[in-house]
Amino acid sequence: MNLTKTKKATKLFAIIFAASLLAGACSNNQSTDSDDTSGQTETPTDDSTTESKTSEKVTLTLLAYDSFTPSPNIFDDFTAQTGINVEISLGGDAGELVTKAGLTSGNPEADVLWGVDNTLLSRATSKNIFTPYATKNLADLDESARKLVPNNEATPVDTGDVCINYDVNWFKQRNLAPPLTLRALTSSNYANLLVVPSPVSSSPGLAFMLATIAEFGQDGWGDYWKSLKQNGTLIVSDWTTAYYTEFSGSSGKGDRPIVVSYGSSPPAEMIFANPRPTTAPTAVAALTCFRQVEFAGILRGTKHEREAQLLIDYLTDIKFQEDLPLTLFVYPANTKANLPEDFVKYSLRPESPLQLDPDLISNNLLFWLDEFTNIVLR
């Protein structure tokens, strides 16, 4: 098993993670305006959300993960309506975003953060990163996602699923049934076929690890990973390497036909292909999926809180939400947003995805990552 790529990432993550926990502990002892989450920041009136351009030009910095790629001119309407410019700052993986935001809590380098998901939510809120805000679009957002943030510490912006993806043609050519469950991946039929981004350094990798904990329980997931290791599972540092280099079913030249990716990866393969194939070259094992919910939030300490509220409103409005399926390949959190036909046709939305309570994740994540390191990386 090739583990060299992940050992350096493991050490770096441990140092950053420990520093962020210390900073979070210090910030929790400080008195701030947002400590009382029972008092919500009021939703602005309709007049204020469409207010005329401000006399003083304001530029908001939106901090997001590296793969945040909405349409190039998506913020033009927001600027035209409000006079507020939006500058996007990319800050690595979602885990890196939370760490950076935690270290600068109360004195942020940006105004709004996009991309904290439910695997990292409790960690983010415990560090007092966000200023609560109830967007004017709150009633239109996915109800189950809203329940994860009852005090509106952050705002749901999209949902998706991390799942096992497989190369359809690879299995068809060998007359071999693809693995449809997590347990199946330990079978000798699939020895040396799976590539997984590390949960230590990758958000989808972390979601996959949590899926195994949800499936096999806190007493059984470690033995499951021992079986995966014995079956030749390859662990790499990030999703990009896993999907585009090691996986055989994408534009990569890899020799592994099974990969941890997203439920929306098959429509991406179809839409970006030229020429477009008649059927999707990859497929998803529905019983392996873990539900992800992504959030955006106003960073506590921003000097432009009022303007940041307007941006949160825009991020959850129909126009921006309908841009997400074919740019970020996620489902809009706004239930009134329409989905593109190709996205619906080729993506998979599992009816009963694997899930874990965010508080359970927060209370055990460091221990689980340590266990993973001991079992798989050493």
Q: pTM for this one?
A: 0.79
CA distances from 179 to 221, 223, 228 (A): 18, 19, 13
pLDDT on residue 53:
55
**Count of domains for the chain:** 2
Confirm if 159 and 294 have CB atoms less than 8 A apart.
Answer: yes
Q: Are residues 133 and 19 both part of a single domain? A: yes
| 128 pLDDT above the threshold of 50 | yes
| 16 pLDDT above the threshold of 60 | no
Which residues are CB-contacts of 369 (< 8 A; sequence separation ≥ 6)? Answer: 13, 17, 199, 200
| 42 pLDDT above the threshold of 80 | no
| 357 pLDDT above the threshold of 50 | yes
With respect to residue 22, please indicate whether it lies within any of the assigned structural domains. Answer: yes
With respect to residue 307, please indicate whether it lies within any of the assigned structural domains. Answer: yes
With respect to residue 352, please indicate whether it lies within any of the assigned structural domains. Answer: no
Domain that holds residue 166: 161-291+357-377
Q: Are residues 153 and 199 both part of a single domain? A: no
Q: Are residues 45 and 151 both part of a single domain? A: yes
Q: Are residues 372 and 245 both part of a single domain? A: yes
Confirm if 55 and 28 have CB atoms less than 8 A apart.
Answer: no
DSSP-based three-state secondary structure for 40: coil
| 124 pLDDT above the threshold of 70 | yes
Question: For position 86, which CATH number holds?
Answer: 3.40.190.10
Q: Are residues 213 and 326 both part of a single domain? A: no
With respect to residue 351, please indicate whether it lies within any of the assigned structural domains. Answer: no
pLDDT on residue 373:
96
With respect to residue 1, please indicate whether it lies within any of the assigned structural domains. Answer: no
Q: What is the mean pLDDT of residues 28-48?
A: 42
Q: Are residues 140 and 29 both part of a single domain? A: yes
With respect to residue 195, please indicate whether it lies within any of the assigned structural domains. Answer: yes
pLDDT on residue 48:
44
pLDDT on residue 316:
98
Q: Are residues 181 and 322 both part of a single domain? A: no
Residue 369: band (very low, low, confident or very high) from pLDDT cuts 50, 70, 90:
very high
Residue 92: band (very low, low, confident or very high) from pLDDT cuts 50, 70, 90:
confident
Q: Are residues 53 and 195 both part of a single domain? A: no
CA dist., res. 344 & res. 322, Å (int): 13
Q: Are residues 260 and 271 both part of a single domain? A: yes
| 62 pLDDT above the threshold of 80 | yes
pLDDT on residue 17:
40
Strands 282-299 and 234-236, by their bridges, are unpaired
**Mean pLDDT (the chain, rounded):** 86
DSSP-based three-state secondary structure for 284: strand
Q: What is the mean pLDDT of residues 31-53?
A: 44
Residue 135: band (very low, low, confident or very high) from pLDDT cuts 50, 70, 90:
very high
| 23 pLDDT above the threshold of 60 | no
In angstroms, how far is CA 204 from the centroid of its own chain? 7
| Amino acid at position 358, single letter | P
